A and B are shown apart, each in its own frame.
Chain A
């Protein structure tokens, strides 16, 4: 922090040398205090800037032709369309999603297969009186079958990540994708929490987040609260009544019970003893406050939202019994009265009477979703996301008022924010630093790229620091620029730009970009104009333009015709097919990440750099590829 400040000061002094630039005002906004309460009375941005701005913030950047389309339609009409994604035709992404065969399978079924296979395998090994001499007792066929199931589990994760990128790259429902990204980050889940999480996440994204992304906050909150993904991630599935408190229903030890259900009958005596031990632990209680705390702190009221530790405990008590069916039964939400605390609770001043069951938790969701602190907290996060790292207070208040008035209608809150004068202010324009996801997706869109059905592009995003479903802590990725900016991050972003220009990223070919494909032998100035318009919002500072201009176009000098498209370096791995082999190969990095948690990085094999080409050769760029590489690596491209 300290150092950052000194840097800004020294930098600013240096600037005194006489270079003053148009973008200085917007770019410095991150260092300013929040705007004064006096509200703007008009949209400061010119019409064309408004078009670029909505594409930057309500979409993941412009694809070739997007600017013209919105200009023709009108910015406000386009916003209104985007607020009703169900009315936007999205055939192309729907068709593309057919590539993700494993996501289309029944995840409960897959989880069940996994859990049963794992249990049987353990059982066989135990019965074989396993020794230290190697894999005893398991037949080759069983081992192979288990490996297949393991592989499939990893592919679920790979396809989930890949499909998130693909949707963001080509879906017409861009605001819906932005909101999905926002909520998945708000209600963060870590895919490596444990083996079942990947299966749970498929359903989480599809059935919990997406249907409510622009719906009612209360509905979204309940869907999350009942999702196995969240119940597992924040441990509510294990939370149960403390032994000192009344239990809603008694435990029948012979019945299937909790996550251990049905196991006792199938295991050897040694393991049965362990399970009984855990059963005893469960019976002796164990309130787990984890979800209760994060529900208040991160999902609704916010850390300063006015709740106490007592509220945390009582929320956790109210939610006891909200758990998951055993994986061997496919998972799924279940309320278990045996785990529920039947005592009276007081939550944020509301009394929950004794002796009730699942209603306790539902009442808590009513209370917290309609709390004024929640309206403020959610509105502030949305304003930070859409408008500025320093959310203008007046706009936050207005959005929060809409939240309260509409009973948490997310669509109306977002509409309020993205049609506000603050949204269309000079201070907001191109002031947000892109996240790695936004960097990669906006580059792909600018290139008019085809989506990548392999996990490769998602791995690039992970390499840039934002693995999808890979944030360990429940607070999600940061939404301010300072968090994404460090020397290593910029280095990787620059190298990413080079890789795109060198055709090293699937789906994007420099010679096929609409609007650039005709300029391969044009003058440098024409090339620069086209690239600036496509990738840098149509305008750059004179300095940046001077740098972009500082190179020759060898094709221009010789007057040669456009060359045959350079052989893509990815030729050995064409996108959209050979899913199986690719997923297998490309899963290596994913596996390495899995191992990092379970066991740490691979002891022997170095992890690959997804930006290095074959043999790690440095790309030799000239002509339009050079301009594109510079543009994508430029400071201007890091903002939107």
Chain B
């Protein structure tokens, strides 16, 4: 496509500072035409702090729910079907409902694009944020010291395909540092924002810097540096920022909303994005979490509006995109003495996309009676998060060798929920 043009303009720039282009080495990118794979994209969104699943996908039909949460429960949906009230759960299927702040999710659910999964999470008994996030990101519950994240291992497994090699933007985290979930041997890019992915120098200084990496020995440092200049130039040329939200999508001004906007821009700019990641905090609601209004509702407003804007913005492209949300564990079934909830066990997540078999709450419901609760206090687990992640990576991205992506997880695909 335009790749050769980029390389050429880079070479010309070097001439202008008095260096002969004969110095130039060809690079991996330069050797091939840039061809953004018209493949699938997976967007993983981490709700850090353990989101309160029972007030997000509300089991209003479970007779124990309201007894466990006298002050913070989300009221039952009003009898009239089709009415959405800010003061009650939004009914999905007569048993589950959405927190009213998730109203933007309801049309997606109705169109079959959105699948909530309940009672899902990690089999590990830990209630530590530190451990549980680590386990969910490495994909290896109760195994510390796993060196890489499961998304990076996915890249390795899929790594043999030709089109995966040629874009530096195959895996992008909109975070300051490479998140654990993407750590590993395969190239990923972490950036705070698209406009920070730039060499902070004037034009001729950038040319000189590039010349330093393009000349000299052909080692790891020079090679990676050359790749970087290519990537920066490629991003500049693709200019994702020019893609304004479409279809009337309105992203919140929050950091999370703006990061999803940038993910959409990367997808629209066809830079070959296959894996995207962003995270959002504020879910550790030990105190005053609120009910239909309050702290949790505020976080959910931002969460739902951002995701709904992304779906609206991408329009037909959602046929190739799946959004997978996750949080390290759920929270206690019973509210605590502070109008909040303490660390629990199983939680809930959302899978959203054109491929997704939505319009239905997935996962076996374990019930909330005392003897049904995990350790007498938390929502019990009926679906291992690795089962959901396996299904999404296999069915949506076409991943094989799942035992390499989730080592030690041997559950057969027959146990998958049928999400995608």
B187 touches A486 (CB 8 A): yes
B187 touches A487 (CB 8 A): yes
Contact of A550 among B19, B165, B302 (CB under 8 A): B19
Closest to A18 in B: B22
Query: Restricting to B198-232, which residues have a CB under 8 Å from any CB of A?
Result: 198-202, 204-205, 208-209, 211-213, 215-228, 231-232
Size band of the A side of the interface? Answer: 35 or more
Interface stretch among A198-206, A305-313, A489-497? Answer: A489-497
B67 at the interface (CB under 8 A from A): no
B201 touches A621 (CB 8 A): yes
**Within 8 Å CB of B241, what residues of A?**
none
A12 at the interface (CB under 8 A from B): yes
When chains A and B are docked, how far (Å) is the Cα of A135 from the Cα of B213?
Answer: 56
Query: Restricting to B284-300, which residues have a CB under 8 Å from any CB of A?
Result: 284, 287-291, 294, 299
B205 touches A626 (CB 8 A): yes
Report the minimum CB–CB distance from A488 to chain B (whole Å).
5
Interface stretch among A290-298, A320-328, A354-362, A372-380? Answer: A290-298
A473 touches B147 (CB 8 A): yes
B200 touches A495 (CB 8 A): yes
**Within 8 Å CB of B209, what residues of A?**
494, 630, 633-634
B199 touches A3 (CB 8 A): no
Interface stretch among B24-32, B81-89, B395-403? Answer: B24-32
A557 at the interface (CB under 8 A from B): no
**Mask for A532-552, Cβ within 8 A of B = 1, else 0?**
000000000101101100110
Closest to A627 in B: B208
A14 touches B219 (CB 8 A): no
Given A8-B223, A194-B130, A498-B200 in contact, is the A465-B192 Cβ separation under 8 Å? no
Interface stretch among A70-78, A170-178, A421-429, A605-613? Answer: A605-613
A562 at the interface (CB under 8 A from B): no
B26 touches A491 (CB 8 A): no
A270 at the interface (CB under 8 A from B): yes
Report the minimum CB–CB distance from B202 to chain A (whole Å).
6
Report the minimum CB–CB distance from A92 to chain B (whole Å).
33
Report the minimum CB–CB distance from A45 to chain B (whole Å).
19
Query: Restricting to A261-308, which residues have a CB under 8 Å from any CB of B?
Result: 268, 270-271, 274, 277, 281, 290, 293-294, 297-298
B196 at the interface (CB under 8 A from A): yes
Report the minimum CB–CB distance from A335 to chain B (whole Å).
24
B165 touches A2 (CB 8 A): yes
When chains A and B are docked, how far (Å) is the Cα of A634 from the Cα of B211?
Answer: 10
B284 touches A599 (CB 8 A): yes
A597 touches B48 (CB 8 A): yes
Contact of B283 among A15, A467, A599 (CB under 8 A): A599
Contact of B219 among A30, A131, A193, A488 (CB under 8 A): A30
**Within 8 Å CB of A277, what residues of B?**
376-377
B208 touches A630 (CB 8 A): yes
B168 at the interface (CB under 8 A from A): yes
Name which of B144, B188, B284 has the most chain A CB atoms within 10 A of its CB. B144
**Mask for A468-500, Cβ within 8 A of B = 1, else 0?**
000011110000011001111111001100110
A550 touches B208 (CB 8 A): yes
B228 touches A491 (CB 8 A): yes
Given A132-B339, A498-B200, A618-B202 in contact, is the A597-B19 Cβ separation under 8 Å? no
Given A7-B223, A28-B217 in contact, is the A603-B256 Cβ separation under 8 Å? yes
Closest to A478 in B: B147
Given A10-B26, A544-B212, A629-B205 in contact, is the A15-B218 Cβ separation under 8 Å? yes
Closest to A122 in B: B338
A486 touches B145 (CB 8 A): no
B192 touches A618 (CB 8 A): no
Contact of A543 among B23, B160, B220, B289 (CB under 8 A): B23
Given A19-B215, A21-B216, A294-B144 in contact, is the A598-B338 Cβ separation under 8 Å? no
B134 at the interface (CB under 8 A from A): yes
A604 at the interface (CB under 8 A from B): yes
Query: Restricting to B140-160, which residues have a CB under 8 Å from any CB of A?
Result: 144-147, 156, 159-160
Contact of B216 among A7, A268, A543, A598 (CB under 8 A): A543
Query: Restricting to A529-579, which residues have a CB under 8 Å from any CB of B?
Result: 541, 543-544, 546-547, 550-551
Report the minimum CB–CB distance from A129 to chain B (whole Å).
8
**Within 8 Å CB of B377, what residues of A?**
277
Contact of B228 among A298, A490, A605 (CB under 8 A): A490
**Within 8 Å CB of B283, what residues of A?**
599-600
A550 touches B17 (CB 8 A): yes
A600 touches B189 (CB 8 A): no
When chains A and B are docked, how far (Å) is the Cα of A433 from the Cα of B130?
Answer: 30
**Within 8 Å CB of A604, what residues of B?**
254-255
Name which of A10, A190, A547, A630 has the most chain B CB atoms within 10 A of its CB. A547
Name which of B156, B218, B339 has the most chain A CB atoms within 10 A of its CB. B218
**Within 8 Å CB of B191, what residues of A?**
488
Contact of A546 among B19, B222, B291 (CB under 8 A): B19
B415 at the interface (CB under 8 A from A): no
Given A598-B284, A599-B48 in contact, is the A3-B28 Cβ separation under 8 Å? yes
B130 touches A475 (CB 8 A): no
A609 touches B189 (CB 8 A): no
**Mask for A329-368, Cβ within 8 A of B = 1, else 0?**
0000000000000000000000000000000000000000
A134 at the interface (CB under 8 A from B): yes
B48 touches A600 (CB 8 A): yes
Report the minimum CB–CB distance from B27 to chain A (whole Å).
7
When chains A and B are docked, how far (Å) is the Cα of A626 from the Cα of B208?
Answer: 10
A36 at the interface (CB under 8 A from B): no
Query: Restricting to B1-43, which residues have a CB under 8 Å from any CB of A?
Result: 17-19, 22-28, 31
**Within 8 Å CB of A605, what residues of B?**
255
B281 touches A620 (CB 8 A): no
When chains A and B are docked, how far (Å) is the Cα of A11 from the Cα of B208?
Answer: 19
Report the minimum CB–CB distance from B189 to chain A (whole Å).
5
A130 at the interface (CB under 8 A from B): yes
Query: Restricting to B267-312, which residues have a CB under 8 Å from any CB of A?
Result: 279-284, 287-291, 294, 299, 302
A192 at the interface (CB under 8 A from B): yes
Contact of B255 among A1, A234, A293, A602 (CB under 8 A): A602
B360 at the interface (CB under 8 A from A): no
A639 touches B22 (CB 8 A): no
B215 touches A547 (CB 8 A): yes
Report the minimum CB–CB distance from B17 to chain A (whole Å).
5
Contact of B144 among A290, A487, A489, A551 (CB under 8 A): A290
A11 touches B25 (CB 8 A): yes
A473 touches B129 (CB 8 A): no
A132 touches B71 (CB 8 A): yes
**Within 8 Å CB of A193, what residues of B?**
130
Report the minimum CB–CB distance from B21 to chain A (whole Å).
10
Closest to A389 in B: B220
Please report B residues at the A interface, Cβ cutoff 8 Å. Answer: 17-19, 22-28, 31, 46-49, 71-72, 128-130, 133-134, 144-147, 156, 159-160, 165, 168, 175-178, 180, 185-193, 196-202, 204-205, 208-209, 211-213, 215-228, 231-232, 254-256, 258, 279-284, 287-291, 294, 299, 302, 336-339, 342, 375-377
> Could you give 19 example pairs across A and B, Cβ below 8 Å?
A2-B165, A14-B26, A15-B217, A21-B217, A28-B219, A131-B288, A134-B288, A465-B178, A475-B145, A491-B199, A543-B215, A544-B212, A599-B282, A600-B47, A601-B281, A603-B255, A603-B281, A605-B255, A618-B200
The 9 closest A-B pairs by CB, nearest first: A600-B281, A600-B48, A14-B25, A11-B218, A543-B215, A599-B281, A27-B219, A487-B228, A599-B49
Q: Given contact pairs A131-B288, A541-B216, A609-B192, enumerate 7 new A-B contacts (beta carbons under 8 Å).
A: A4-B187, A6-B165, A467-B177, A495-B200, A543-B216, A547-B17, A602-B281
Please report A residues at the B interface, Cβ cutoff 8 Å. Answer: 1-4, 6-8, 10-15, 17-19, 21, 23-24, 27-28, 30-31, 122, 125-126, 130-135, 190, 192-194, 234, 268, 270-271, 274, 277, 281, 290, 293-294, 297-298, 433, 462-463, 465, 467, 472-475, 481-482, 485-491, 494-495, 498-499, 541, 543-544, 546-547, 550-551, 595-607, 609, 611-612, 618-621, 626, 629-630, 633-635, 638-639
